[in-house]
Amino acid sequence: MTATFKKDIQYYKFCLYGFLKNQRFFDPFLMLFFLEKNLLFVQIGVLYSIRMITRTILEIPSGIIADALGRRGTMIFSYVFYILSFIIYYFASNYLFLIIATFIFAVGDAFRTGTHKAMIFEYLKLKDWEDQKVHYYGHTRSWSQTGSAVSSLIAALIVFYSGRYTDIFLFTLIPYVIGLVLLSSYPRILEGAGTKKTDQSIADAFKEIIHKMYSSFRNLKAFKIITNLSSFSGYFMAIKDYLQPVLQLYTTAIPVLLFLDQKKREALIIGAVYFILYFISSRASKYSGKSADRFSNILKPLNLTLILGLITGVLAGVFLKFNIAIVSIVLFIGIHIIENLRRPMAVSYASETFNDKILASVLSVESQAKSLVAAIFAVLLGFFADYISIEFSFIITSLILLFATPLFILRKK
């Protein structure tokens, strides 16, 4: 099926939102920022886990609030918390302040995830473009990845000229303030079904949404779907930033840019690699719909990408163990590509399976499960990295999830 939707003003607003949202200049250097603070890998894993667990706790009520009270206000609330967290990260002088900043960032994440996707799908429904979900979401997600590519180059320049990882949080405030203004310009019609029922009390709206959620999740099939869709994304969230210390090790071994000090070399090489990574990922997201169309049903690519992604994680650890870092880096890029091929398919499949009136809530549940998986694997990766080695942490955690995949492989029947 070819894409037939119209690229109108709201389409470009959705794309611009994704571009600005991913101007997270700290992303290519976040783990190095923590390591610069003399944290152990397991302490970093705890910070990641705090972020994920906080999201897990808050995402269900945030989805309900978005469906019942309005999605735009929920998104604006989220961005205010993001901005506050960046300020605290910038001034953080000890582990406690890093925990506080991480918690506030997670609150912002919890009120964002699922909500903006629900606004996109609401728009597709209004335009009668519901059959274009994979293509449309893939296009908007590709702009997010393009934003990350541009962001990585800007981040590299910030670190190169300032010599500090801390400054990237200060500069991240700029695109997020612009994003806040953009969200305020979204039309009210995207608020969702809950806000249209003016004759209902807020309590009745909550009861209706909770009832619909119960109806959608009371069978085992629903839980199996959620587990399949969230498992690899959670694993990806936990492992993706380990590319940074791998790249850091690699920069000491290659004879390029030797006239620069170590941090400047790291900034340029890591920025360049992340630019390539995100650029390729943006292409993967854009063509996710075409990739899905090659299969007779969407379950096949969902299962295939899940298994292939985990095998890639195992191989990344194996090649790093044998000091073939360049292959390990390429495999890490492969994991990013697989996630960005898979994610639009997963979100579209979930939106077609569950009641559209509670879509923000459903997507928040999926994101909640993803966060829980990420929280567990973040601590496991940190523990194994500190007490065994980084390469074995990749191998062990990837194998754990790979052996569990038969439990949540999706079947058409």
For residue 403, is it within any domain? yes
| Percent of the chain whose pLDDT exceeds 70 | 79
Q: Identify the domain containing residue 403 by its residue range.
A: 9-407
27-46: pLDDT as tens digits: 899 999 999 898 999 999 99
Residue 57: what pLDDT?
Answer: 79
Report the alpha-carbon distance of residue 146 to residue 151 in Å, rounded.
8
Residue 290: what pLDDT?
Answer: 63
Residue 315 has pLDDT above 80, yes or no: yes
Report the alpha-carbon distance of residue 146 to residue 363 in Å, rounded.
23
What one-letter code names the amino acid at 42? V
Residue range 67-73: mean pLDDT, rounded: 73
Residue 9: what pLDDT?
Answer: 86
Residue 11: what pLDDT?
Answer: 85
2-13: pLDDT as tens digits: 556 678 788 889
Residue 403: what pLDDT?
Answer: 92
- Residue located via tokens 């994101």: 367
Report the alpha-carbon distance of residue 49 to residue 13 in Å, rounded.
32
For residue 61, is it within any domain? yes
For residue 176, is it within any domain? yes
* 351 or 273, which is more confident: 273
**Region of poorest pLDDT, from 50-59, 261-270, 285-294, 332-341:** 285-294
For residue 413, is it within any domain? no
Residue range 239-265: mean pLDDT, rounded: 79
Residue 258: what pLDDT?
Answer: 64
* 412 or 349, which is more confident: 349
Residue 345 has pLDDT above 60, yes or no: yes
Residue 174 has pLDDT above 90, yes or no: yes
Residue 196: what pLDDT?
Answer: 46
**Region of poorest pLDDT, from 30-39, 165-174, 346-355:** 346-355
For residue 208, is it within any domain? yes
Residue 197: what pLDDT?
Answer: 44
Residue 358: what pLDDT?
Answer: 60
Report the alpha-carbon distance of residue 386 to residue 343 in Å, rounded.
31
Residue 308 has pLDDT above 90, yes or no: yes
Confidence of residue 310 (pLDDT cuts 50, 70, 90): very high
Report the alpha-carbon distance of residue 98 to residue 88 in Å, rounded.
8
* 293 or 179, which is more confident: 179
Residue range 172-180: mean pLDDT, rounded: 94
Instruction: Please answer whether residues 130 and 124 qualify as being in contact, where contact means their C-beta atoms are separated by less than 8 angstroms.
Output: yes
For residue 77, is it within any domain? yes
193-248: pLDDT as tens digits: 544 444 455 566 566 656 666 665 666 677 777 788 888 889 999 999 999 988 88
Cα radius of gyration (the chain): 21
Residue 364 has pLDDT above 70, yes or no: no
Residue 409 has pLDDT above 70, yes or no: yes
- Longest Cα–Cα distance in the chain: 70
Which of 149, 140, 150 lies closest to 333, judged by CA? 149
For residue 283, is it within any domain? yes
pTM of the full predicted structure?
0.80
Domain of residue 207, CATH code: 1.20.1250.20
DSSP state letters, 344-408 = HHHHHHHHHHS-GGGHHHHHHHHHHHHHHHHHHHHHHHHHHHHHT-HHHHHHHHHHHHHHHGGGS
For residue 412, is it within any domain? no
Name the domain count of the chain: 1
Rounded mean pLDDT of the chain? 82
* 368 or 79, which is more confident: 79
Residue 180: what pLDDT?
Answer: 92
